[in-house]
Amino acid sequence: MANEEHLSVLRQGVEAWNAWKANNPNIRPNLSFANGKRITIRGAKLSGVDLSRTNLSRADLSKADLIGAKLNEANLSEAYLSEADLIGADLTSADLSSADLIGANLIGANLNQAYLSGADLTKANLSGADLVGAKLIGAKLSGANLSGAKLIGANLSGAYLRGANLKGANLIDANLIGANLSRSNLHRTKALHSNLYKAILTGACLQDWHTNSATNLEDVICDYIYLEAEQKERRPIQGNFAPGEFTNLFQKTLETVELIFSNGIDWQAFLISFQKVQVKTGILELSLQTIENKNDGTLVIRLSVPNDINKTEIEQSLQREYEHQLKAIDKIYRYQLQATYEEIATYRRQSIDLIEIVKVMASQTINVETKHLMDQRSVSDAAAKIQKLLQQLEQTYPTGTPLEKQIVVIEVIKHIESNPILKVRVVEALNGVSIEALKKLIDHPLVNVLLAALEEYQEID
């Protein structure tokens, strides 16, 4: 039950309260609920009250209604705040060291630069809370909800986070040295540049968590992990990781881009788009790492990329280019090969059965040389059609002067533009092989003039 004398002093304001506290250092102020009745200050609820810089150390505020309260820079060290309602409260730079916050509701609270070292936040709800730069050294956070919380630069060294929900939390630059994250949910957690030296990760869910080469996984203690929620996709499937195996495994996949194909794949479209992104970005180190055929028919292709490359941009570029190539190839399937949409879809679903062939390709970096990437029949077909056009048009137009030759070339380009199927073939040929290689395939005196004009034709849609 709240102590009326203590409440009376608090109602006099921060200065009077702090003076009383200084004169009575051994008294634990009692401001807690009694029989569910709300405590009032000057006739108002504690919610929204301004207690900034107030000395509430060792105060009993358990189950208190402090929704939206201003407690920035307040001294709440060793205070009892169990099951207190602190939704949206401002606790910026507040001292909550060794405070009891068991089951407290801190949804959306501002704990920026707050001191929570040694605090007990077991089963507390910190969803969406701002804990940027907060000190949580040795804090107890087992079963706590930290989903979507901002923990950028937070110090969680030695913190106990067993079973905590960190889904979507931002742990960039966080210090997690020696932290216990066993059975925690790290789904989509951002751990870029974070320090997990000697952290415990046994039984954690690491689905889509984000790390990079600056994430320190040295000497991580981990027997097994899950790659999907609800303890699915255990790794290793049986037994435990050997010492250091977890670190080695995830260091290999730190710089990885994952491409997911749920409805099959067109390998020609993929390989062409891969090569084009290689050339456009200048990242020749971009290479296939692994190809995984999921049980449901989904294909996952993992690409290795350099440490300093923006992986999101690479992923988006590859997806855009793949869709672009897919449309071009679909025209060929439908108009030239007379294939139906259903037949095309069936072909792509069956393409995942080529997994063993592509694994051989995956063991090496895909070379920029297009002869490894293009369907040579498609290139040869385009070259043959261009050659035939040149031969037909030179029968109609004279080619004695440079201007006359240019006119013939313009007519060839007009014919290509008017024929969608041929246009796709030519674009593929130009994007797939070097100009020199194409010259060798077209046996005609005007080939040099034509290809010089077509060099600016490579971005045809």
Task: Kindly state whether residue 407 falls inside one of the protein's structural domains.
Answer: yes
Tokens of 455: 């060099």
Lowest mean pLDDT among 134-148, 208-222, 227-241, 316-330: 316-330
Residue-range definition of the domain harbouring residue 169: 116-254
According to DSSP, the β-strands at 44-45 and 225-228 are unpaired
Contact 88, 129 (CB under 8 A): no
Domain check: are 359 and 431 in the same one?
A: no
Lowest mean pLDDT among 60-64, 184-188, 396-400: 396-400
Residue that finishes a domain, picked among 188, 220, 254: 254
Q: How many domains does the chain contain in total?
A: 4
Q: Which residues pair with 80 in a beta bridge?
A: 60, 100
d(CA 4, CA 364): 77
pLDDT value at position 281? Answer: 72
Kind and range of the H or E run holding 383: helix 376-393
Contact 55, 18 (CB under 8 A): yes
Contact 292, 265 (CB under 8 A): no
Q: Tell me what percent of the residues of the chain surpass a pLDDT of 90.
A: 35
Contact 96, 73 (CB under 8 A): no
151-183 pLDDT, tens digit each: 999 999 999 999 999 999 999 999 999 999 999
Q: Which residues contact 36 (CB under 8 A, 6 or more apart)?
A: none
Average pLDDT estimate for 19-24: 72
Residue that finishes a domain, picked among 304, 339, 372: 372
pLDDT value at position 134? Answer: 96
C-alpha dist (Å) from residue 66 to 11, 45, 165: 15, 8, 24
Domain check: are 144 and 250 in the same one?
A: yes
| CATH code of the domain in which 217 resides | 2.160.20.80
pLDDT reading at 364 higher than 90: no
pLDDT value at position 17? Answer: 65
User: Residue 236: is the preceding peptide bond cis (ω within 30°)?
Assistant: yes
Average pLDDT estimate for 50-65: 85
Domain check: are 350 and 414 in the same one?
A: no
Average pLDDT estimate for 400-425: 68
d(CA 74, CA 46): 15
Average pLDDT estimate for 241-261: 77
Predicted confidence band at 40 (pLDDT cuts at 50, 70, 90)? very low
Task: Kindly state whether residue 30 falls inside one of the protein's structural domains.
Answer: yes
pLDDT value at position 152? Answer: 95
d(CA 130, CA 106): 10
d(CA 187, CA 207): 5
**90 in helix, strand or coil?**
strand
Contact 56, 78 (CB under 8 A): no
Domain check: are 243 and 186 in the same one?
A: yes
Residue that finishes a domain, picked among 239, 254, 269: 254
Angle at 289 between CA 260 and CA 284, to 5 degrees: 105
- Residue of 292, 298, 297 lying closest to 256 (CA atoms): 292
Domain check: are 263 and 320 in the same one?
A: yes
Residue 299 carries which side chain, given as an amino acid letter?
L
